[in-house]
Amino acid sequence: MDKIPNKTAQTDFKLHPLLSERWSPRAFNGEPVETEKLLRIFEAARWAPSASNEQPWRFIVGFKGDETYDKIFSTLVEFNQLWASTAPVLVLDLARKSSSKNPEKENHSARYDLGQALAYLTFQAMSEGLFVHQMGGFDLSKAAELLKVPADFHVVTVTAIGYIGDPEVLHPNLKKMEYALRTRQSLAEMVFSETFGQAPSWIQP
């Protein structure tokens, strides 16, 4: 455990520890995730907010060693395959395209709402001692085909879940990123007032 890097965010303002300690590791220790913890993190996703309470998110969960896991893993780009096999759980994240209340109407908030559900899932996972790494690097069409995703659902992301592991188990090309300091744009670069690009007076540059 002493080789696991300290990735606590160097924030300008104090945050809840679940936020400042959250990051997306690539090294997991392979230990299976307890069912009761999985139930709680998906329960957290269940209670995320969504437009008109549509709850458009769906999750297909694979456990290392089962067919679902292998199918999800096979869709990942080579870069993600270099590390994702250390995670005991892989999840395919989906969002319903149409409104459940009016199937003829597009739910333009669906992917946004899925993102909120995954954020809820992530912070519940952190509270359980687990870590989450979300990926966009995979073959969406292949995933839809292999997992028999209905046409009315967007295939959006893949999520790895597990207990953090030693970065030294990773491919040499990945270790540097695992130890690198975390950085973010400043608030002045993303929060505006009056017009786009104008930082509010209450944000100090």
What is the domain extent for residue 35? Answer: 20-166
Question: Does any domain span residue 141?
Answer: yes
Question: Does any domain span residue 45?
Answer: yes
Residue 101 has pLDDT above 60, yes or no: yes
Question: Does any domain span residue 37?
Answer: yes
Residue type, 177: M
Question: Does any domain span residue 200?
Answer: no
Q: Give pLDDT tens digits for 152-165.
A: 999 999 999 999 99
Looking at the DSSP bridge assignments, the partners of residue 193 are: 195
User: Taking the CB of residue 44, how many other CB atoms lie within 10 A of it?
Assistant: 20
What's the rounded Cα separation, in Å, for the pair 7 and 193?
32
Question: Does any domain span residue 2?
Answer: no
Residue 39 has pLDDT above 80, yes or no: yes
Domains in the chain, number: 1
Mean pLDDT of the chain: 94
What's the rounded Cα separation, in Å, for the pair 14 and 67?
43
Residue 2 has pLDDT above 80, yes or no: no
